[in-house]
Amino acid sequence: MRVDTLDAYLQRSRIIPAVRSPEHIPAACAAPGAIVYLLTGDVISIAALVRDLRDCGKLICVNIDLLGGLSSDAPAVDFIAQTGASGIISTHAQTLKAARAHGLLAIQRTFMLDSQAVANAARSLERFNPDAVEILPAMVAPRTLPRLRAVRPDLPIIAGGLVFDLVEIDRLVRAGVDAVSASEPSLWVI
C-alpha cells in the first residue's frame, strides 16, 4: 500500500480502533474506518484474528512487539505477512525495514517520554522513513509535531494512548495529527 493511499484511509476516519482483546473484533468490524490496529494475539491465534478483520474489509496493522510467542525479527515479519496483515507496528527500525521488504506498511511507534525521546525520534526519521509514526501518549503529540514535521513534512502522524473521549480526539485532530488510535470501543464511532 502506498503512503498516499494510507493518507486517504486516514482521512476517511480519524479514529483507528486499537483492538486489545479478541472480544472487540466485532466492534472494530462495525467501526467506520478502514484501518484497525491489532494489539493482541499470539503465534497460535494471530492468523484467525487477522482473517476475521480482513473478512469485514479492514486493513490490519499488527503490533508485532505485543504478540506472544514471536520476536520482532524478520522471520516473525514474514509470518505476519503470510497471515494477510496490511502492516506492522513496532518500535524497532529493523522490524519496520523487514515489513517494507514484504510490502507491508511500516508504522513506527514511539514513546515521547521526554525531550531526549523527541530528539531520538527525529534522528530515527532521518535514517528511516516509515509510512506513519504513532506518538504515545497522545496528549504530547501536538507538542512534538513541529519537530517531527521538520524532518518529514508529509509523514502521517497518529496519536495514541491515554485517549478517553471524543472531545480529546477532536482536539488532537485540530492540533494537526492525522488520526488517533484508541482502544476503547465506545470511541470507534466516527
What count of other Cβ atoms lies within 10 Å of the Cβ of residue 126?
9
**Res 6: pLDDT:** 81
> Which domains are seen in the chain, by residue range?
3-183 (3.20.20.70)
Residue located via cell numbers 488510535:
181
**Res 13: pLDDT:** 86
Per-position pLDDT tens, the chain of length 190: 444 578 888 888 899 999 999 999 999 999 998 999 999 999 999 999 999 999 999 999 999 999 998 888 889 999 999 999 999 999 999 999 999 999 999 999 999 999 999 999 999 999 999 999 999 999 999 999 999 999 999 999 999 999 999 999 999 999 999 999 999 999 998 7
Side-chain half-sphere CA neighbours of 13 within 13 A: 20
The pTM (predicted TM-score) of the whole model is 0.93
**Res 93: pLDDT:** 92
Pick the closest to residue 108 from 124, 86, 119, 123 (CA basis).
Answer: 124
Query: Would you say 161 and 137 are in contact if contact means Cβ atoms under 8 Å apart?
Result: yes
**Res 159: pLDDT:** 97
Query: Would you say 126 and 147 are in contact if contact means Cβ atoms under 8 Å apart?
Result: no
